[in-house]
Structures are given as C-alpha cells and as structure tokens.
Chains A and B, each alone.
Chain A
C-alpha cells in the first residue's frame, strides 16, 4: 500500500508549495526582480564597444598635413581630442588616469608627407588597461589606413586586401551578444537558488521530520516541491526573452520549440543542483551562499558569457565541458543570433542531456529519507 508512487501526493505537495510562494512575497519578488535587475545591469552597463576615447594631442609640427591627420582621428567618432599647450607635460594626464593615450606628432611630419617620404607618429597608450587599449589599437589601424590614402594618394594600392564582413551580429552590438547569454544566468541562478532554499527551509522548519514520517515517497516530495519553481523560472525566462526581443530588438532566428526544450533541459539540471545543495546543507543561509557561488561564478566566468572559452588554458578549457551553463550558452546564442538548427546544436544538446541525467540521478539518490546527519 505504501510502496506505490502517487501523483495525488506529489500534487498535494505542489499545492502546499504554491501556497508558501503565494504568501511569501520574497520568492515572487526574486523571480521577477532578479531577471529585471540583471537584464538592466548587463544589457545597459556592459558595452564592449569603446567610444569617445580621450586622447591628448601634442602637435609639434602644426602643418596642414598634421591637421589633416588629426582631422581623420576626430571624424572617426571614436576619439575625443584635446590639444596640449606647447611646453606642457604630455604624460601627466595619462599618469593621472584621465586619458587613455597621447598622440605626438614631431616637427618635420608635414615636410616628409609633402616629399612623399616615410615618417612616423608616436602614440603612447595606457598599457595598464589592456582591454580598452586593445580595442583602441584596432581603431587606430583603420584610421591609419584611411589617412595614408588621403595624405599619400591612391598610389599605394595593396595587391592583397582582406575584406571582413560580420555575420549574425552585423553591427557588433554588445547587447546582442550579452542579452541572449542572460537567459542562461537568470534560469541557472533562479532555479538553483529557489530550489535550494525551499528544501532547506523544510529542514530548518522541522517539517521535513514530520513529512518523512508519513507514507509520502521522496520522489513525490521532490516532484511536488520543484514543480512550482519550474513554472516560476520558465516565466522568468520568458520575461528575459520578451525584454531581449522587444526592448533590445534582438532577433530570434532559431526554433522556439528547440529553445523551450533547451531551457527545460538546463532548468531541470539546475533544479537538481539546487536540490543537491539543500540536501547537503539543510540550512537556508548556507544553501543561499552555495547557490550564489555555484550558480553565478561558473556562468559568469567559465561559460563563455563574457570571456571566450577558446582562449582559456587547456585545463580550464576542458573543465568547462562539465559545466552546463557553457553548453546552454551555445544553444541560447545559437538560437537567438545564428538561427542554428538541431544538427548544429547536437553536441551542446547531448552534453546538456548527459549532465542533466547525471545530476538528476545524483540529487534524487542523495535525498535523505531519514534524519541521519
């Protein structure tokens, strides 16, 4: 009589859980507030496209050619130029972190250009901030090419030319890159956190002891307790999707069905991770801390959300293989921007499925049916 799994019991546990959620505004606030905060924060604050770089100019030549040269810089929209008065220390602003670079044109520049002779211009850059400076170098290369044509004429046509065209994200918008990745962060963090808290709460509250003494089966408790959160996190994921499409105007080129499938696969995996955390800790505070660490750090640092996996050291590169966010990141970006199909996404989907099965089995197995510490 007690050995059978009963949906009615799982359903009843779920109904109880919905009542908890409904009466505790904290949970609902989390599930709506967290996606909004993350999307606003990451969507608007992070911009890889560096604009309006402050550049000090020491034009010691001050000829028509040097002014033409500088004209090219200021019309590029990337730089804001400030002329340094003669005799002033050109590096001071750089040392005080007020500017990113100094452009020095020595006397004789105009003469050399007039005579079509080779000449140099010096650019001092703040190497302490290598990420910004790296981007600046890219801009400068483009400007150099344009200025060369202008000052030396079309004479030096290069026989080999590289023509680049950006696919998927033609405007190189950071938001297009970031926001589809936010689905991963929101789904991952919320589902781990909410699950870990709900089961830990049951232990802390003492109600787990009473619950375990009834004929209810562990699987019934797990399914009943997690089902409401599955729905909540799905709604949160939907919220991020809507913001991505309609606030940021990001295209969704893939199959929605595949997207929902991927979300559910990743979501159940994270629910299992949260369950595992709460089974181990049995305390809400500790569970919360572990959820934040295990739910946020790998996703932020090792999933390719911001930092490319390809350039990681060998150890970390292979380490990311066991991280579910890494695979779901590929799926989310692939579906949003590239319109990837099931064949292109076969590898991440299979890896996600594999990790999902492992984690779900481990979590269910480790769920205690007794009070043993």
Chain B
C-alpha cells in the first residue's frame, strides 16, 4: 500500500481494466528519475575536493557512494542536491528519457544531511508538522503519510520526545522521516548510518529496502565498507575521483578482492609504493 501512495488517484483506475494497469506502469517508468554526472570539479577553499567525476545513477536503484572520510562524498552529494555549485562539469536529471530542469525536480528531492540538522528542542511530532508545511503537503495526505512513517520506523511511542533526547538511531530515523514526508522521487542520504549502533544500522537498512520497493532512486553515501555490498550500484570515491562503478559483486570480481576494505587497501598500496 505504501508504495502506491504516490499514485493513489490511479488506483481505482487500474482496478477497472487492464489498460489502466498499463497506464500505471508507463506512469511509473515516466516518473523514474535518473542522473548523469559529467566531469565534475569542485574546489573547496584551497583543495580540489572533486577532480572530474563522471558517473550515472540509474533509475529505481539503491546507489551507494562509498569511500573513506575526506574522499569528497559530502561535497558530491551537496552538489547533486543543489547546495553547492560545481566549478566545472555538469549534472543532468532525466525523467524517463526526458531531460528535466533541476528547478522542476527540486521539490521532489529529499535530502538528509550528514551532520546533525534537526532542532534539539522540537519534538518528533513538531518536526513532522514543520516539514509538512515546508513541502506544502495537503493535510489529508499528510495524516496518512505521517501515520505510515511512524509505524514503519516504530517511532509512534516517541512522538512527543524532543530530538535532543533521541538516541542516535532514532535521531537518524527522524531525519529520514522528515525527508520522506513528501513522497520524493529521489532520495539523497549522506552517511545516514554514521555513528549508529549495529542493530539500529540493520534496522535502518531494512527501512531503505522498503523505500526501494517504491521504485524510486535512492543515493546513499557511506564510509562503512560492509554497507557497500547492500547497494545495487556502487560508486567508489577516493580523493575526489571515482575509482570504480558498477554492481558490488562485479567490482570485487574485476579487482580480484574479497571485500571493499581489501579494495581500498589494494588501491592505497598501488598509489604509494
């Protein structure tokens, strides 16, 4: 049910006849977002944070940008969500096959920053109310959506707790809820599991998989190498460059390593012999 929420006006239609189902399918393909990134350069102060990134984010997949701290993950994501402007290179969003202007896709982008970004003195419920207004979500839609998200994240009992008193895992879940409130087409999560205990991390990933059932584009960054294999596409970032991109398994096979930790160890040995 949750995955169809965005298309709820179409649901009665598709129950009528087969043609409706086809329309629904085509609509889903139509609204699917993909992104191509071409030769992205970004200078942060004196250092060149991104040194020519070229890659592609395919629709309806869970993409992982993995790399150690300082690789440029946050800078890359901030450019993708329009919070930073690249010095060189371009980003193109596509809706289906059609190129689409960033300004028109922007309202359907959800973003969860890496650093703490919620209001310590506002409660879980007040956060949701606030972001409902920011995204201008109609009240009827909001009520169902809010209940659904609270159930999914198992945060129902904590609605009145202020963000400053939430545990690390719950804090991240609240951040995710705020981002997902508007039923986005693209979701950017910058190190969402950073500093979260292993059990909460697994719980968080389960949430992400449910999110993916809605056939939306999810881009996540992480410095935890074990999380790379949970993604359907991986973009390995190191010192502002993409080292490798593709399915996690095929990357490991290609590089002849067992896991991504070995991948980075092998890479650093190759760079400074």
Contact = CB atoms under 8 A, between A and B. Distances in A.
Nearest to A207: B117
Nearest to B74: A371
A210 B117 contact: yes
B7 interface: no
A372 B135 contact: no
Central interface residue in B44, B78, B130, B133, by most chain A CB within 10 Å: B133
Interface residues on A, range: 20 to 34
B45 A16 contact: no
A27 to B, nearest CB: 12
Given A6-B136, A8-B133, A9-B133, A16 B119 contact: yes
A9 B136 contact: yes
Given A16-B122, A371-B78, A212 B134 contact: no
B115 A206 contact: yes
Given A19-B126, A210-B113, A215-B136, A2 B103 contact: yes
Nearest to B175: A210
A213 B85 contact: no
Contacts of B111: 210, 213
B109 A213 contact: yes
B45 to A, nearest CB: 7
B131 interface: yes
B80 to A, nearest CB: 11
Interface string B172-192: 000100100000000000000
A9 B122 CA distance: 17
A209 interface: yes
Contact of A215 (B83, B107, B126): B107
B134 A12 contact: yes
Nearest to A224: B133
B82 interface: yes
A147 to B, nearest CB: 70
A23 interface: yes
A162 to B, nearest CB: 65
Contacts of B178: 210
A99 to B, nearest CB: 58
B135 A215 contact: yes
B118 interface: yes
Contacts of A87: none
Given A19-B126, A373-B45, A209 B133 contact: no
Interface in B106-163: 106-107, 109, 111-113, 115-122, 126, 129-131, 133-136
Nearest to A202: B119
A205 interface: yes
B134 A207 contact: no
Contacts of A213: 81-83, 109, 111, 113
A24 interface: yes
A212 B82 CA distance: 9
Interface string A195-230: 000000000011111111111100000000000000
A372 B85 contact: yes
B8 to A, nearest CB: 19
B136 A8 contact: yes
A1 B107 CA distance: 8
A214 B119 contact: no
Contacts of A67: none
Nearest to A12: B133
Contacts of A16: 119, 122, 126, 130
B84 interface: yes
B121 A19 contact: yes
A371 B190 CA distance: 15
A98 interface: no
Contact of A209 (B83, B103, B135, B136): B83
A59 B131 CA distance: 84
B232 to A, nearest CB: 24
A34 to B, nearest CB: 22
Interface in A249-269: none
Nearest to A372: B84
A370 interface: yes
A373 B43 CA distance: 11
Given A215-B106, A370-B85, A12 B130 contact: yes
A209 B117 contact: yes
Contacts of A373: 44-45
A236 B109 CA distance: 42
A2 B84 contact: no
Nearest to A208: B117
A12 B115 CA distance: 23
A213 B130 CA distance: 14
A20 interface: yes
Contacts of B82: 213, 370
Given A12-B129, A12-B134, A370-B83, 5 more contacts: A2-B106, A2-B107, A9-B133, A213-B113, A216-B134
Which 3 pairs, one residue from A and one from B, show the smallest C-beta to C-beta distance?
A12-B133, A206-B117, A213-B111
10 contacts: A2-B106, A3-B103, A9-B134, A11-B133, A12-B134, A16-B130, A20-B121, A20-B122, A206-B115, A371-B84
Interface of B: 44-45, 78, 81-85, 103, 106-107, 109, 111-113, 115-122, 126, 129-131, 133-136, 175, 178
Interface of A: 1-3, 6, 8-9, 11-12, 16, 19-20, 23-24, 205-216, 370-373
